[in-house]
Structure 1
Amino acid sequence: MPGSDEELGQTGEMPDGSAPGPEGSSGGFWARAQAVIAAVGGAVGAVAGVVGLVFLLVPGLQPEAAKGIELVDSDVDREENIRADFTTPDSPPGRINMRASMLSVTLRNTSDDPVLVTDAVFHFSSAEELKCTSGAGGTELRAQYNIKVPNQGGTSFSVKRKMKYTVPPHRQERVAFSLGPEVEWSGNLPYIYTFDVALHADDDVRIDVPEATMIVTPDLLESYLENARRAATEGLSIPEPGCIRKEAEAVRKVVAEAKRPSPELREFSAELTRIAQRI
């Protein structure tokens, strides 16, 4: 009978003339498997070729490489005491110590190379001095904050701070900035700053830090509040009670509208509101 075990053993061939496969398998199966593998390999190669051609013809479709540095977090909160240098016309240079909020920025470098942060641009949408003067005046102080803000009212100006801050490969680093007036007088009134920050790195990456609102400086805040308390309890005309009430409402509105108010600003507003209610 054609195809019997006896006939196969004598000829060593399959009935269709092909050689037998390994024991327990047929030549037809292996032939089909090899054909499938060859077909899959050809299809993969064709797809890769088409994708490469598309990226070549349309460069905008290519995936962007990792930019290396990114913003992880930022906050406006109290830090360790700020030690600021100052000079006066009639005394040698000294130091002032105060506990105040700082703008803190945490950066992450996900690349294999270090990234250099070259500058920080602070854009101030508002820099307003409080209004209710107590009539005090005094010696000039020049405070050396990280960011020295010009003593100018109005809106929309920028302050650029050069930096040479390197974020190592695959590391997370934190940098903080203290803000204050470029020139202080002992009779200065507190300033309220609303600003955002753009950090620039040497790989042409720009990192935008969200808007924050701060009031500076702590020593000025306490003097201002003490004068307001005396006006409320002793009936003084300077500062004017009506001015204090208007100021309390204005500061309360700033806090309500601020995206990220500093702790000092919230506390100052709450205390000034309590004082105004007693006048």
Structure 2
Amino acid sequence: MPGQQGDGPAEDQDKPFLRKPQGVISVAAGVVAILVAILGVVFDFFPGVRPEPEPPKLELSDVDVAREQDIAADWTLGDQPQSTMTDWTSSLLSISLRNRSDDEVLVTDATFEFSEVTKLGCPYGAGGSVINARYDFKVPDGFTAPSATPRPVKYEVPAHSTERIAFTVGPEVDRDGSLPMVYTFTVTLSADDKSRLTTAPVVLMNPHHTEAVLQAADSAMRSGTGFATPACVKQQARKARELVESTALVSPELVEYSEELNKLVALPSPQ
């Protein structure tokens, strides 16, 4: 008599359970489940037996902010475009990566996580020029921290080598009369070997306009003249000192700027 629908082929109806395909599958699944449970118990009681995942191939070797780099910058004076500058100085964040493995590693992403963006200085006047420097990471007007922003990158680190990757950071638009900008942030690099490497906090300064700010601060502290006021200079000198002391990785431009502001604060007040 033919088997009813769902009972399997007629020739399987009289076979013992373990000789039926579904029986073999059920037993195999049960054996696998038992083995998984046993391994779990063994790993709980003998954690040293648990297989360790393969460590990432890439590691952070060094981070520094002691370098500068000249980059290109487009600028206009009034409404007239000018020749592109090639010597626009930028502070540089430099990250050294070490690959100890036998395989090349590709860095694929860099996430900039800003905790603070600071305008540092007192007013000093304005002009008609507008600069659009070609920074690797451009911070737009109105940018507020905290904020994390990923950027795709493509950087290869050969096997058994140490390579350096560097970034320039600055304002998207730099107008005459702008104040120096200071950025406090970390960078997390992601690679195709599943590495995620995060720097210590960095304080990087856009060094432009510092000379104009210091000249205005000097006039304010010596004679009480100009756009800046002694009270503003004292406040900004204190803020600069706090930023310098906030972390170990501070750009030398900010250290020098802070020292100059605080020297001016020490001058006798104008009568």
Matched-pair contact (CA < 8 Å) for 1:213–1:261: yes
Across the two proteins, how many residue pairs are aligned to each other?
A: 225
1:86 partner amino acid: D
**Shift, 1:275, TM fit:** 1.1
Alignment of 1:173-252 (within 5 A): 173-216=163-206, 218-252=207-241
2:132 alignment counterpart: 142
1:124 alignment counterpart: 114
Q: TM-score w.r.t. structure 2 length?
A: 0.76
1:45 alignment counterpart: none
1:76 partner amino acid: V
3-state SS, counterpart of residue 102 of structure 1: strand
Q: Distance in 1 between matches of 2:89 and 2:179?
A: 18
2:53 alignment counterpart: 64
Alignment of 1:30-45 (within 5 A): none
2:80 partner amino acid: D
Following TM superposition, where does structure 1 have runs of at least 4 consecutive aligned residues deviating by more than 6 angstroms? none
More helix by share: 1
For the pair 1:97 / 2:97, whether they are aligned, the reply is: no
Provide the alpha-carbon RMSD of the alignment: 2.3
Identical positions, percent: 37
- The structure with more radius of gyration: 1
1:224 partner amino acid: V
Which of these residues, 131, 151, 164, is aligned with residue 161 of structure 1? Answer: 151
3-state SS, counterpart of residue 193 of structure 2: coil
Q: Distance in 2 between matches of 1:110 and 1:57?
A: 32
**Shift, 1:221, TM fit:** 1.2
Which of these residues, 91, 100, 103, is aligned with residue 110 of structure 1? Answer: 100
Q: Distance in 2 between matches of 1:196 and 1:139?
A: 31
2:71 alignment counterpart: 83
Structure 2, unaligned stretches of length 5 or more? Answer: 1-37
1:259 alignment counterpart: 248
Matched-pair contact (CA < 8 Å) for 2:108–2:154: yes
Q: TM-score w.r.t. structure 1 length?
A: 0.74
Q: Distance in 1 between matches of 2:86 and 2:128?
A: 16
**Shift, 1:170, TM fit:** 1.2
2:72 partner amino acid: A
Q: Distance in 2 between matches of 1:174 and 1:135?
A: 39
Q: Deviation string for 1:216-268 (max 9, x for gaps)?
A: 1x231112112212223343141112111111112112222233211111111
3-state SS, counterpart of residue 84 of structure 2: strand
Structure 1, unaligned stretches of length 5 or more? Answer: 1-52
3-state SS, counterpart of residue 153 of structure 2: strand
**Shift, 1:93, TM fit:** 4.6
2:266 alignment counterpart: 277
Matched-pair contact (CA < 8 Å) for 1:55–1:62: no
Q: Distance in 1 between matches of 2:166 and 2:252?
A: 16
2:192 partner amino acid: D
Q: Deviation string for 1:165-188 (max 9, x for gaps)?
A: 011111110111111111110111
Q: Deviation string for 1:65-108 (max 9, x for gaps)?
A: 131111111111123x4223223241245014244431111111
**Shift, 1:54, TM fit:** 5.2
Q: Distance in 1 between matches of 2:240 and 2:143?
A: 16
